[in-house]
Structure formats: structure tokens, C-alpha cells
Amino acid sequence: MPRTRMKDRRNARVDRATVQLGDYGRLVRPDGTTKWWVRASNGAWAALGHERVSENDDGTITLLYLQ
């Protein structure tokens, strides 16, 4: 794929993603802050950085990208 097309793909962002129950975890620290983790497609766990997390009634979570 030509470089210009690759560059365009890297700039495209998804503004939200929904994660199913069992594919995420939450750690509440003693100071009250929350750290979220999601399972990547390769099965490894990844800590979330700057995303805003919204908990849904069906047990899923939605990650909202902050610009």
C-alpha cells in the first residue's frame, strides 16, 4: 500500500467502541481513581489511557475517544 494511503488510515479514528462483559476489567484505587483494562484481539490485556468509559445497562462498556 502506498505511503500516502497508510498515512490517511492512521489519521482515521473511531469515536467509540463497545466492549462485551468479560472482555474488560476495572480497578478502583484507594484514592478513588478508576483504571480500566480491555482484552485485545490477541488475548492480552491493555490498560486504557485517556478514553472516557461509559457503563451500559446490558453489562457492556462503551469507550469514547476524547479529542
Where do the domains of the chain lie?
14-64
Q: How far apart are CA 6 and CA 48, in angstroms?
A: 25
pLDDT at residue 18 tops 70: yes
| Model pTM score | 0.60
pLDDT digits (tens, 9 = 90+) for 29-63: 999 888 888 898 899 998 887 668 888 999 998 98
Q: How far apart are CA 58 and CA 61, in angstroms?
A: 9
Beta strand 61-64 pairing with 52-55? antiparallel
Q: How far apart are CA 58 and CA 66, in angstroms?
A: 23
Greater confidence (36 vs 12) lies with: 36
Q: How far apart are CA 10 and CA 52, in angstroms?
A: 21
pLDDT at residue 14 tops 60: yes
Q: How far apart are CA 9 and CA 15, in angstroms?
A: 14
| Average pLDDT, integer, range 1-15 | 54
